[in-house]
């Protein structure tokens, strides 16, 4: 990696994101689960299969004056 710090552009999902994951995280935390580069996992909890994934994004402004936060998600099991 040429950069000496993580930039906002690393979170865009493009080449910088891929290089960050491959050169920094996989080189230090490589295992059979991570090397597949999946963006989710199937968890088996007491016989139920739970699909788990995360997604993140950057917002503008970076800081909110009134400390208002908002989040959304979904859950599916079978």
pLDDT of residue 2: 66
User: ∠11-16-21 over CA atoms, to 5°?
Assistant: 80
For residue 42, the cross-strand partners are 51
Looking at the chain, list the stretches that DSSP marks H as alpha helix, in order from N- to C-terminal side: 15-20, 27-29
pLDDT of residue 28: 92
Tokens for 16, please give them: 């910088």
pLDDT tens track for 12-70: 778 998 888 888 889 899 888 888 888 888 888 899 888 877 766 666 777 767 666 55
Is 75 exposed, middle or buried (CB count within 10 Å of its CB: 0-12, 13-18, 19+)?
Answer: exposed
pLDDT of residue 76: 56
């Amino acid at each position: 990696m040429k950069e000496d710090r993580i930039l906002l552009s690393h979170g865009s999902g493009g080449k910088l994101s891929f290089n960050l994951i491959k050169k920094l995280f996989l080189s230090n935390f490589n295992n059979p689960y991570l090397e597949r580069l999946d963006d989710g996992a199937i968890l088996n909890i007491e016989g139920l299969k739970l699909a788990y994934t995360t997604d993140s994004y950057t917002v503008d402004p970076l800081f909110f004056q009134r400390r208002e936060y908002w989040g959304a998600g979904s859950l599916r099991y079978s």
